[in-house]
Structure 1
Amino acid sequence: MSEFVTLEEIRAAKERIAGVAVRTPLYRVERARLRMGEFPEPEFDLYIKAESEQPIGSFKLRGAYNMVAQLSLEALRRGVITYSSGNHAQGVAYAARALGAKAVIVMPSNAPEVKKAATRALGAEIVEVGPASSERRLKAEELVAEFGYAMIPPYDAPQIIAGQATCGLEIVEQLPGVELVISPVSGGGLLSGTATSVKLAAQAGMVSAGVQVWGAEPELAADAKESFYSKTLVEWSAAKTTRTIGDGLRTQSLGVLNFAHVMKFADGIVTVSEEEILAAMRVMLRATTLVPEPSGAVTLAAALFHAEELPKVKKVAVILSGGNLEPALREQLEGSWLRGSG
């Protein structure tokens, strides 16, 4: 395997995950349906890549299954382990169950209950630690040393990047005229994979050579943006990153391999406020049939509230990375717009 994931490896991942991960729809949303009091009608056509329609409600199944499926039979017999706040946990648990392996998941104590319950329902054993992403990783490494489990990292592995990259490959196949793709960014698995696949597809003539890929993340967990523009991999403290409502975007730094891919293939990163995330969630719930979790709504927030920072284009695809929304928050969001329209 080369230093960077190749188009051939991404295509191989696409074949490997077929029948397990879904080729999710790319929905066009009429401009008029996006109009809200906070902003005028957008000047671009918007498409939403609905990774919320994966069997586990998130894109994480792509990378997890791609990596677990390449393990030896002996490794599968020993079992697999990962550390995750929720969606990757479910991806690994789902992949392990499909392949007949035990799954152990190290999760933060403050992970949403809906994600813990879904992970347990898939047959995984959960080990809880504190809120820091570094705590999760260290505990998982400790258990690997003790029991010989195969580590399935959340983002920092070529197999994970190649699996997540299949999302970007689908976008260019579904919308050859796409000019801008926006991906959420935390540890960097989805952004690094999407940027790599879209840019390699452009080199292969599958999409316009001018297509751009940008990341979006919360202002309260903006380590990726700082890393990108300083060209130096930085780490934020857990005390800072855990402030955001986007529980899937609280990772303290990009992965090393992910950072390399992002620097080579991505075009920029924008940040959004907590208020903008909630507003984007309300828009999606009101204007579409899709259900966004906060981490998945950052891309729509970027497109709607930060258009002046992004390339001026006509066709924008945003990735809704997950739809595992806490019922109480959904009720609160739906209640707030009903009161506002009453």
Structure 2
Amino acid sequence: DQVVVAGGRSVPTRHTAGAQMLAQAGGVFSPYLMVLDRHPPAALLRPIEIADPACTGAVLCDASGRVAGEEQVTVPAGTFTATKIVIEQSWRPAFSGSGVDAGARVVTVWYAPEARRAVKYTSRLTFGDSPPMEANFDLELVKWRAAPKPARTLAAPKPPQVGDNWTYRISDPPKPPRSLFIQVASVSPTLIVEQVSVEGGFTSPRRHPRGGYLIPQGISVFSPYLPQFEKMLLPSELGYIENNDPGCRAQFVCTAKGSVVGEETVQVPAGRFTATKVVIQQTWRAAAGVSSDARELERMQGGRTLTVWFASPAKRAVKYESRLTSGERTPLEANFDLELTSYQLK
């Protein structure tokens, strides 16, 4: 890690497995011991390597330690349930006439798993008048921030084939539930074309290219084949999302942003799936010149949250959940559930 004391120069320090006494910030014991090593309660720590430059030349140092148990410790950064370790360190002259006096100190260390590091040190001189290092100090965690875990690339589902089909149920009270039937008509590396029918009515083609977009498909949905076309990182923010709903082209101006938030199990009538969860935040406002009435413009400003679950075994989104978050007039149906009821894959 990089260590800076009082805004001074940044100094790199290497931390390896095992117990070490270091010169870092007044003489510190292995700050990552509980990350690099695991010790049962009351375990003795041996051997302890002396890596403090103060213990060289005319000074010989020894140290032993033990895990004393767990306890609550409060520091400026908060209260932690911590593992307590007690270190006894002593020093003596390396040769007669060195001018070094013998002495000792006790260093107590508290490790907190959530902070991934020691959160407090106390050092107290127990005997001797001239310690070779700073022997009386407290070192407490003031603030901390854990770096986010690196994004993980999710495995892409297999592309659909011509003839693959899915049946969904649209629920948007007070309207009665309706069925949505979708069948793949053609597939290429950059485009999927399907035939869509609502309640067994007129069949219309729908084109699905790469990228993120919102389209009318019985109701307003988000790119149903996004994982087939785009690399999905968990977690990650989605790029530009195009608004293709007709209501967003005339009276309203719509914008959207989204993120891949996790993986979870979702239950729909077609079965139980481990799915990738994507959350879309869509907002809208009145287009320029639509109205001069302040109250009407306020009513036309709003948004919704659209949650999508993509399941690789089904090769498509298996559930959509849309909820209005604000606004009175909307450019599209903002409250609905769309769930997969059955599917057939070639």
Q: TM-score, normalised by structure 1?
A: 0.22
Relative CO higher for 1 or 2, CA cutoff 8 Å, sep ≥ 6? 1
Q: Which structure has more helix as a fraction of its residues?
A: 1
Q: Which structure has more strand as a fraction of its residues?
A: 2
Q: TM-score, normalised by structure 2?
A: 0.22
